[in-house]
Amino acid sequence: MSDASYLSLEKLTLAYGDTVAVADLDLDIRKGELIALLGPSGCGKTTTMRAIAGLLPVKSGHVRLDGADMTWVPANKRAVGLVFQSYALFPHLSVYENVAFGLKLKGMRGADLDAKVQAGLKSVGLSSFANRKPAELSGGQQQRVALARSMVMEPKVLLLDEPLSNLDARLRLEMRTELQRVQKETGVTMIFVTHDQAEALALADRIVVMKGGAIEQIGSPEDIYNRPVSSFVADFVGFENIFPLEGGRLRTSGGLIELSGEAPSAAGLAWRPRMVTLGTGPFRGTVRGTSFAGDSREYLLDTSLGPIKAEVEAGLSAHPLGADLLFDLPAEKAALLSKFS
């Protein structure tokens, strides 16, 4: 078996009763890869993760891991680790005892157990916290205990469900670095579920964007960020000026609009606010909103195309509310969308 199919989901269909949540999903994950399942609530990402873990029965299709068909293998026999959003630590046990819990269930005792637990705590930088209870730890430290508890079991795949959502902004940044370090040092295949595009872009080797129980796009963070294939993905990763193309013209709320420059062949075009040229161009708009964002200034323009969002360097002269501005949507800067919905 090749690394490209270390973990394979083949025509996977998952349902809750008569409601299909994921339909005919195909996905190959390489050994040692860090994958993000990204999408809004209800897109099927957590459902897919639960099926990989064996926590949700498969309606049809297969889950294959390291050459073996795991479709009907019980969760406790899959060599799959789980780190939950809520940490799920035992409050009455110490950090050491929490990490040791699964190993004891497997029958490990004595020096072997101690060596394993100590190595696990060291890997997440918590050796000096072994005797503390979870309530005596910060949220980031509790998440690291949960990570160590899963890693000492030597899983073939580690699944993380919204692992950073309970942390504040500073701790999220610290835990991103920690997850990357642990994953690269151990080489474990890791899949994490998130609705946060910044988190997925920062952590993943590849991102799987999901919509309505299906895969909308798979690619590197750079591909997803710069080259979305659909209006859904473009909107999800921050393209705020998105229009369908019809006969080489933009279809807008004000009708069909000619582009400046040659219109590319695509179902639609998308521009991030910073891709909008402000102060010159064939279009005109009125400033209806403005906000200072540190190193940039953002504008909301009321235009014949509909609302347009633009972003410029903060050092440039500010435009007041009500100002009448020229602007352009350069076709050569736009992301080309092959699918518009």
Instruction: Report residue 279's pLDDT band, with 50, 70 and 90 as the boundaries.
Output: very high
Does residue 119 share a domain with residue 93? yes
Number of domains, the chain: 2
Task: Indicate whether 239 pLDDT > 80.
Answer: yes
CB 147 within 8 A of CB 183: no
Which 3 state secondary structure label does DSSP give 208?
strand
Does residue 62 share a domain with residue 156? yes
Among 150-164, 202-216, 281-295, whose mean pLDDT is lowest? 150-164
* Rounded-to-integer distance, Cα 66 and Cα 3, Å: 9
Backbone torsions φ then ψ of 147, nearest 5 degrees: -65, -45
Alpha helices by DSSP H, listed for the chain, are 45-53, 95-105, 110-123, 139-151, 169-186, 197-203, 221-226, 231-236
**Higher pLDDT residue, 34 or 83?**
34
* Rounded-to-integer distance, Cα 151 and Cα 285, Å: 55
Does residue 79 share a domain with residue 23? yes
Does residue 111 share a domain with residue 247? no
The CATH number of the domain holding residue 292 is 2.40.50.140
Does residue 101 share a domain with residue 21? yes
Does residue 192 share a domain with residue 59? yes
Estimate to the nearest angstrom the gap between the alpha carbon of 68 and the chain centroid.
27
Task: Indicate whether 33 pLDDT > 50.
Answer: yes
pLDDT digits (tens, 9 = 90+) for 155-184: 999 999 887 776 677 777 777 887 888 888
CB count, 10 Å around CB of 336? 16
Q: Which of 159, 172, 146, 150 is nearest to 37 (CA)?
A: 159
**Higher pLDDT residue, 181 or 234?**
234
Cα dist from 181 to 7, 125, 198, 219, whole Å: 22, 11, 18, 22
pLDDT digits (tens, 9 = 90+) for 113-154: 999 999 989 888 889 999 999 999 988 888 889 888 988 998
Task: Indicate whether 230 pLDDT > 80.
Answer: yes
Task: Indicate whether 295 pLDDT > 50.
Answer: yes
CB 281 within 8 A of CB 249: no
pLDDT value of position 4: 63
Does residue 144 share a domain with residue 115? yes
Average pLDDT in the 11-19 region? 95
Which residue range(s) make up the domain with 150?
3-230
Task: Indicate whether 85 pLDDT > 80.
Answer: no
Query: Looking at 230, 263, 286, which one is the last position of a domain?
Result: 230
Backbone torsions φ then ψ of 320, nearest 5 degrees: -80, 165
Torsion sign, CA atoms 320, 326, 331, 332:
negative
Task: Indicate whether 260 pLDDT > 80.
Answer: no
Cα dist from 239 to 260, 273, 332, whole Å: 19, 7, 15
How high is the mean pLDDT of the chain? 91
Does residue 135 share a domain with residue 67? yes
pLDDT digits (tens, 9 = 90+) for 192-208: 999 989 889 999 999 99
Query: Looking at 197, 230, 263, which one is the last position of a domain?
Result: 230
The CATH number of the domain holding residue 202 is 3.40.50.300
pLDDT value of position 1: 40
Task: Indicate whether 2 pLDDT > 50.
Answer: no
Backbone torsions φ then ψ of 313, nearest 5 degrees: -65, 140
Q: Which of 57, 59, 22, 28 is nearest to 42 (CA)?
A: 22
Does residue 279 share a domain with residue 178? no
**Higher pLDDT residue, 162 or 70?**
70
Q: Which of 331, 300, 305 is nearest to 252 (CA)?
A: 305
Does residue 238 share a domain with residue 197? no
- In the structure encoding, which two tokens stand for residue 32, read together? 């040692």
Estimate to the nearest angstrom the gap between the alpha carbon of 94 and the chain centroid.
32
* Rounded-to-integer distance, Cα 298 and Cα 274, Å: 9
Cα dist from 17 to 20, 48, 63, 213, 257, whole Å: 8, 16, 20, 15, 47
CB 102 within 8 A of CB 48: no
Sequence length of the chain is 341
pLDDT value of position 51: 96
Query: Looking at 230, 249, 266, which one is the last position of a domain?
Result: 230
Does residue 186 share a domain with residue 301? no
- In the structure encoding, which two tokens stand for residue 3, read together? 């690394």
pLDDT value of position 138: 87
CB 239 within 8 A of CB 335: yes
Does pTM surpass 0.75? yes
Does residue 178 share a domain with residue 133? yes
